[in-house]
Structures are given as structure tokens and as C-alpha cells.
Structure 1
Amino acid sequence: MAEVFSRRLPENINRIIVAFPEDVQEFFHEMISADRSPQTIANYAYDFSLFFDFLASRNLELEDITPKEIKRFFRHIENGYERTIQVQITKKDPVTGETRKEWVERKHFRENSRSGKRRKRASLRSLFRYLLKTDVLDRDPMQEYEDASLRSRHQQKVPVFLTREEAMRLIDAVSTYHNKQKRRTQTWYEYRDRSILLLFLNTGMRVSELVGLNLNSIQHDGDTARVIILGKGGKERMLKLNRPAWEALHGYLEQRPRNGLQTEHQEALFLNKNRGRISRKGVYEALQKYVREANLPPKAANISPHKLRHTLATRLLSNGENLRVVQEILGHSSIQTTQIYTHVINSEKDGALDRLE
């Protein structure tokens, strides 16, 4: 069994962190003590894994890092990179029939998006500040690298979102997709997927927040139901579910399996087909299935859970809701993050005026 770094983290993340230098592991202990979310810690672990793999390929240690090496690292991953992840699989012995679990490495090529680049810079910035503060290093190569770098031009992109009609087509696609499977009865994951889509469109929660929901995250009194969402930085917010979302969720809860649940996921709200907690990847793949079924236009064909969050924000502001209210619903720590959606509203106004011709 692999060395356990922290029982608060998934085993695959533990396996990444224990391979880091001891001083970097201490940085993760600090993150855990500061109550950073498991997803935030996982993101840092993935970013550092890329960086330390690069250092290893050049036979470099922490104290050898210079601004020039950091520059080489960012150029190395500029156009994408191969990420190695560890997944647990179940194997069956063909002779005895016994099953055993083992860890295997899988490689995935990832595009290095603009937001991904920003996150990797922020991750390394935090690490080197910590190493400087704890006297592991006597200088901050990341700060020196950023001081010498040209600032990239910030391009504010208008968020992609679904129109009301497109959102309705996406929800209807759950039924049409499963009807094509020619099953005699509805499956419980059909109820699950419809509920997930409506929760996204009703609350705008992040996919990491959705997969972290437990049964006790839902509170209801008669016809009124609310969901307690644990957001970034451990901040909680409670949002009321509208009627379609609550009806869909109630239907799923009646169909949700009660037997054969994985021990550690008994309380998970949304389950996968193996009856464990559904993953971010599982949610994304389910959504893509219904996007294809709905035959959405090119603009919306690459829709993701986060773009459903964009959809709610845009609908709220289009309906004249206060920016502060939208900020609280989305769980943004800064109203500047929420203001990006005003660009969408302005573009809609432009279209309305153009159509007057």
C-alpha cells in the first residue's frame, strides 16, 4: 500500500504529493491546515507534478531553479502537455475468479488554456513565496521571472452560454436519449442526469461543488427545498431550488439506489453506475452525451458544466437582477468576477439594436 500523506485527500492525490521534496510536502500540510478544499489541493498537486517532472528531466533540484529554468518550463508546456494520472482498476483472476484492485498510470494530453496558464503561474508563485518565507530558499526565482517577463495582453472573452430555448432542448435531450435505448423502464441514472442539469441551471454551482454534495446537503420543508453548497475557501451558501429543479431532484432521490453502495460513498448525493460518488469527469461525459443528442448549434456544442454556470448568471442579469445578488448566488469572492457577465448583456443589447434595421 502506498504511503498516506493525508487521510483527508484521495489516494491518487496522496500518491502524487509523497513524491515531492519534503519541503514541498510541508507546503501541502499548510494548505490542509488552512482548510483549502480537496479540489484546490489536487489542482496544486497536478501543477507541481508537471513542474517537478520537468526539473527531473533536467536533473535539477529546488535550489538549482533559476528564472531561466522557469521560463523554459512554461515554454515546454505552452502548446499543451501530457499529464500522467494514477487510476485504480479492478482485475479479475481468470483462474480463481478473485478480484483485486491495483493502480495503473494513464497518460492524457491536455491543452494549455489561458486560464490553465494563469493557474500554473499562481500555483508556483504561492509555492516559492512559501519556500522563501520558510528560509528553504534565499531568493524567489518566480518573482524574478515575472519581473523580467513581458506582461501578456489580457483579452476579456464574453462567456459562452445557452439561450432559454437551447437550455430547454438540453433538458429534453435526457428523455429523448434514453427513449432511444428502448428500455422498458426509466433507469435511475436518467433521473440523476436530469436532476444534475436542472441543478446547474437553477443554482449555477461549480461542478466541484455538485460532486461534493451529500444527502444532507438538501433541506426541504413541504414544497420548499434548499441546497447547502460548500464553495471555495470552505464558504457555505444556501440556495433555494425552483420547482422544476426540486421535482427532478425529488424524483431522483426516490430512484437513487439504496443497496450495493460503496462504503465510503454512502452519503454521496449523486452516484455513478458503480454506486460510488460521481466524479467531475463523469458529470462532464454525461453532459456531452446530451449536448450531442440536443444537436445544439456550434456556439453551444462545446458546452461544459461551467458554461451552464455562465447560463444562469446571464439569465439573471438579463432579467434585471442586482449584480450583488448574482455575486452571492454564484459564490464569487469579488464582484469583479461577476461583472464579466455584464459584457454579455451589452452584446445582447447591441444585437437588439441591430435588429431594428
Structure 2
Amino acid sequence: MSLDRAIDAYLRHISIERGLSEHTVAAYRRDLARYAGWLAAHGVDDPAAVTAELVAAFVAEQAGAEQRPAATSLARLQSSVRGLHRFLAREGLAADDPARRLRPPKTPQRLPKALTIAQVEALLDAAGPAPGDAVDTDIVRLRDRALLELLYATGGRVSEIVALDVDDLAHGEVLRVRGKGDKERIVPVGSYARAAVEAYLTRARPELSSRGRPTPRLFLGARGAPLSRQSAWLVIRQAAERAGLHAHVSPHTLRHSFATHLLQGGADVRVVQELLGHASVATTQIYTHVSVEALRDVYVTSHPRAR
């Protein structure tokens, strides 16, 4: 089996059998194309001919390159290579796993940036309709407000929220979200988000839907097609500009803010883990560090003998 066919088989495996998202599969495809290109330049096209020395040389060259990938991208690149060779050895397509001793690099732990509650409120207000808006603008702004309210109310990933169907809003009070690996979770929806979504469904979605082909998707673009992740990004960026928020604001910023505000309000970390859809509580615990940092900042600026 050629290396290209082996990579195709592995990508089908992680997509169909492991249920990884299309975005993750696309990232692995790019990583392994880079790896295959490097091996081809070294005269290797047979996965059975790859040695531990070749794997180590590839990783060392990527890490030492003048335009080396970011630490997180480098870690994912190594994960792609490890996964490929582990799959080939397990399926009997290669006699050995030359990447079995490869250890992922340590990536710096960056604390997520969360907005204050006042900043979130300003962002949400800026997304919604304003007096004097034209009819078309009013329709789009109703959608934008519902989108941002739902992102903040549920802590959902932008890919999860734009993939929602109207039927995923069970009675309006809870949301059925399909997360990574196609795992479903149920998330409550607060009253503000429910009201914003109801206004969008009643006053905006019927008009947007009439402009395109019928679709069950909840959020639609200006021409009636399902709203894309890129368009959702643009919605948030424009709302942030109107709100005068100069810090970088992304869909994930609202997810970070959701988790941080819950923990600051006294929520148990395991409840937050369930709501975010994290497989491990260790992933969620990064937000406890954010809350501790906020407490420390308040202490340092408020206590007369703290500095």
C-alpha cells in the first residue's frame, strides 16, 4: 500500500469509526500531506519503509524550521503522525509502529480570555436591532442577537450552534447539542436567549427562509442558506466593533465567558464540564484558574496591605 492510500484509509477511520469532526479531519489531512511530502522528498512512499529515525528527523526538522508551526500546531502534527502509524500497525498494514516512542511537545497553557458581564451585555445589545434600522437590517440583527445570546447562554462551540436545527430546541427551554465525536448533550437555555430566539423565529427566520431552499437549520444567512461558521465569526466581530470592545472577541470568547461566569457564580466544575461537553474535567479546570486569577487581582487592588 502506498503512503497516500494508507493516509486515506486512516482519515476514513477517524472520520467514520471515531466520528471526529470534519474540521479535525481536515486538519489531520493537511498535517499528513505535509508529512507525506517530506517522506517523498526523502525517497519514501511505502509506509512499511518508515523508520523511527525518519520520524524523529521529520519532527526535529519541523520544530527547528525558520517558519516552524505554532506550538499547538506542532503538537497536532505529531499527533497526526503518531495516529497514522499506530493505525497502520494495528490494522496489519505495517509490521511496526516507528512513531511509538514519539512524545508530544509540552504546549504552554494559556488562560482563556473572558469578557466581563458588562462587556457581554454590551456585545449582546450591539448585536440586536436598533431604532431606525431598515427592514432588512432589522431581520439580520434579530438573527445576530439570537445567535450571540445562544452562544453565551449555552457555552456552545460556534460549529455546534450553526449546525443546530429548529427541532433541536426542545420546548425552547433546553437545547440538544451535537458535539465532538457526534456526542449529544442537553443544555438549559436561559430566558434572555429564549426570548431572542423566539423573536428571531417569529419575525426574521420566515423571511430569510423564503429566500432560499427549505432547510431545517436554525440560523440562516441573508440569502436563506444555512449560516456558516465564517459568517458567525463576522457577526461577532461586527457586534464587538459596535460595542467598542477593542480586545479580540471571537465565538470562543463567549464560550470562555460562559464557563468563567458560571464558576464565579458558584457552579460546580463538573456541572460546567457537562455543559461544555468536555470529555475530561481536567479540560474544564483551566477555568478555575481564571477565576482564581480574578480573585487575586481584586485582592491586590483592594486590600490595603496586599502590595
TMscore range, shorter length: 0.7 to 0.9
* 1:275-354 alignment, distance < 5 Å: 275-297=224-246, 301-354=247-300
Correspondence 1:193 to 2:141? no
Correspondence 1:42 to 2:30? no
| 2:63 matched residue in structure 1 | 75
* 1:1-357 alignment, distance < 5 Å: 21-31=4-14, 32-56=16-40, 60-63=44-47, 65=50, 66-71=54-59, 74-75=62-63, 79=67, 112-144=69-101, 146=102, 152-175=105-128, 183=134, 186-220=137-171, 224-254=172-202, 255-256=204-205, 257-262=208-213, 266-297=215-246, 301-354=247-300, 355-357=302-304
The alignment's TM-score, normalised by the length of structure 1, stands at 0.74
Distance in 2, matches of 1:308 and 1:77, equals 35
Distance in 2, matches of 1:235 and 1:276, equals 25
Shift of 1:129: 0.5
- Cα gap change, 1:332/1:286 in structure 2, threshold over 3 Å: closer, same or farther? same
Q: Is the 8 A contact 1:228 1:239 kept in 2?
A: yes
- Cα gap change, 1:20/1:218 in structure 2, threshold over 3 Å: closer, same or farther? farther
Q: Is the 8 A contact 1:131 1:137 kept in 2?
A: yes
Deviations 1:95-118 (A, max 9, x none): xxxxxxxxxxxxxxxxx4433332
Q: What percent of counterpart residues are identical?
A: 29
Q: Is the 8 A contact 2:7 2:32 kept in 1?
A: no
Gaps of 5+ in 2: none
Q: Is the 8 A contact 2:146 2:197 kept in 1?
A: yes
Deviations 1:128-150 (A, max 9, x none): 10012223333333334x25xxx
Q: Which secondary structure state, in structure 1, belongs to the residue aligned with residue 100 of structure 2?
A: helix
Q: CA RMSD in A?
A: 2.7
| 1:90 matched residue in structure 2 | none
- Cα gap change, 1:46/1:212 in structure 2, threshold over 3 Å: closer, same or farther? farther
Deviations 1:244-291 (A, max 9, x none): 10111111112112224246xx11111223322222222112211222
Shift of 1:321: 0.7
Q: Is the 8 A contact 1:39 1:208 kept in 2?
A: no
The alignment's TM-score, normalised by the length of structure 2, stands at 0.85
Q: Is the 8 A contact 1:211 1:270 kept in 2?
A: yes
Distance in 2, matches of 1:51 and 1:190, equals 45
Gaps of 5+ in 1: 1-18, 81-111
Q: Is the 8 A contact 2:38 2:58 kept in 1?
A: no
Larger relative helix fraction? 2
The residue type equivalent to 2:296 in the other structure is D
The residue type equivalent to 1:280 in the other structure is R
The residue type equivalent to 1:246 in the other structure is R
Q: Is the 8 A contact 1:171 1:198 kept in 2?
A: yes
Larger relative strand fraction? 1
Q: Is the 8 A contact 1:51 1:73 kept in 2?
A: no
Q: Is the 8 A contact 2:89 2:97 kept in 1?
A: yes
Shift of 1:310: 0.7
